[in-house]
Amino acid sequence: MKSAATSDHEILALRLQRSYPAFKLDLDLRLPGRGVTALFGPSGCGKTSTLRAVAGLERATRGRVALHGEVWQDDDTRQRFVPTHLRAIGYVFQEPSLLTHLSVQGNLDFGLQRVPRAQRRVSLERAVELLGIAALLTRRPDALSGGERQRVAMARALASSPRLLLMDEPLAALDAQRKAEVLPYLERLAGEFDIPVLYVSHASDEVARLADHLVLMEAGRVVASGATESMLTRLDLSLAHGDSAAAVLNATVCGHDQHFGLSHAEFAGGRVALAHPDLPLGQALRLRVQARDVSLTLQQQSGTSILNILPATVTALADDGRGQVMVQLNLGGSALLARVTAKSVHALQLAPGLALYAQIKGVAILG
């Protein structure tokens, strides 16, 4: 997260309050004005309510909303409220909500009408290419798969040249196969256009893969906010516990082993082999390593099927329930989690400061 001294012209500033039957929304946030920020938390914690307030769809929500210094709502000093249609936003819902009587091209043209030609900053042709929908332009929405419809909805949101893209669990309505189909397009979208994204999700795998910044919410309040890679490994947060706990390593492809179908990637803390043989050299990767896939050893092993054995130092431990312990590790500046049994903690005498080796299967590293 940017420092408190960061200019309002470089951030999304939110201060929102509203009472609901089940909780009270009460948050005060300054978020990066670029990249993907995820609002993460259980269902009913206020994620969508926050997104809708940013969009101007919840007038009963009081407070302040400003993007890059432009104030969209201020109920304290200016009594200002910019209606939704005058806010430079693109909104992608759980359901695509395409106009069924129009073709895909017609839906995109509808998005273009929101912004005068002179103010268009996003190339629709580039969005169509990036999202892989060129072959769909003449078809109607009811002739598309769920993943195709969602990609069209993303292109339509981009067509209005938004200054902020709001995405409300865009993959929640898709099955695992369609979700896997759309995720790469979301990654490309986030990297291609210089448009900040506010992304709502309760799926930790999506957040780890897409988000640069993470806001953890519970019962309408912000529990913590910060860079995704550091938030995921904080043992004082729920994110770092349970079977889905994982760490993110920012890496770069540095080599291949074509004979065995492997790629090698370097990160701050070492080098790993992973079962993705076709990754281009120099490509930036965000590697997700689940805590349950990391084992620990006091001596570097040989004669093992484990490809990645990395020197590490124990930095902290926390109970993870049912005889499990979450171990936080430092690998040359990168944080990693290992979920082990309490018996293993006792046998290895694990404690902060202990030097050991972290072992990760190549097939367990998720790119």
Q: What is the residue type of 90? A: G
Question: Taking phi first (over 0 means left), then psi (-120 to 50 degrees means alpha), and beta for anything else, what does residue 136 get?
Answer: alpha
Residues near 171 by Cβ (< 8 Å), separated by ≥ 6? 150, 179, 182, 183, 186, 201, 203, 206
* 289, two tokens: 């390593």
Residue 252, pLDDT score: 95
Residue 120, pLDDT score: 78
> Could you tell me whether strands 308-319 and 355-360 are parallel, antiparallel, or unpaired per DSSP bridges?
antiparallel
* Separation CA 265–CA 310 (nearest Å): 13
Average pLDDT of the segment spanning 127-138: 92
Per-residue pLDDT tens digits for 281-331: 999 989 999 999 999 999 998 899 999 999 999 999 999 998 999 999 999
List the Cα angle 26/27/33 in 5-degree steps: 155
Q: Would you kindly state where each structural domain of the chain is located, as residue ranges?
A: 8-231, 246-364
More confident residue, 64 or 119: 64
Q: Does 73 score more than 90 pLDDT?
A: yes
The band of 8, judged by pLDDT with boundaries at 50, 70 and 90, is low
Residue 7, pLDDT score: 53
The CATH class given to the 246-364 domain equals mainly beta
Q: Does 70 score more than 90 pLDDT?
A: yes
Residue 191, pLDDT score: 75
* 362, two tokens: 């190549």
User: Rounded to 10 degrees, what is the CA torsion of 136, 188, 65, 88?
Assistant: -40
The band of 237, judged by pLDDT with boundaries at 50, 70 and 90, is very high
The band of 176, judged by pLDDT with boundaries at 50, 70 and 90, is confident
The band of 359, judged by pLDDT with boundaries at 50, 70 and 90, is very high
Q: What percent of the chain has pLDDT over 70?
A: 97
Residue 1, pLDDT score: 36
Q: Does 78 score more than 80 pLDDT?
A: no
pLDDT, the chain, mean: 91
Q: Assign a CATH topology to domain 8-231.
A: Rossmann fold (3.40.50)
* Burial class, 249, CB count within 10 angstroms (exposed 0-12 / middle 13-18 / buried 19+): buried
The mean-pLDDT minimum among 27-31, 111-115, 195-199 falls in: 111-115
Average pLDDT of the segment spanning 83-112: 91
0.85 surpassed by pTM? yes
Residue 50, pLDDT score: 96
Q: Does 54 score more than 90 pLDDT?
A: yes
Residue 5, pLDDT score: 43
Residue 123, pLDDT score: 83
For CA atoms 65, 69, 74, 77, give the dihedral sign: positive
Residue 4, pLDDT score: 41
Residue 276, pLDDT score: 83
Q: Does 218 score more than 80 pLDDT?
A: yes
Q: Does 21 score more than 80 pLDDT?
A: yes
Residue 3, pLDDT score: 39
Q: Does 114 score more than 80 pLDDT?
A: no
The band of 213, judged by pLDDT with boundaries at 50, 70 and 90, is very high
Residues near 23 by Cβ (< 8 Å), separated by ≥ 6? 44, 45, 46, 219, 220
Same fold, 8-231 and 246-364: no
Residues near 161 by Cβ (< 8 Å), separated by ≥ 6? 88, 115, 119, 120, 121, 122
Among candidate residues 245, 354, 335, the one with its CA nearest the CA of residue 296: 354
Residue 33, pLDDT score: 86
Residue 190, pLDDT score: 73
CB 198, CB 164: distance < 8 Å:
yes
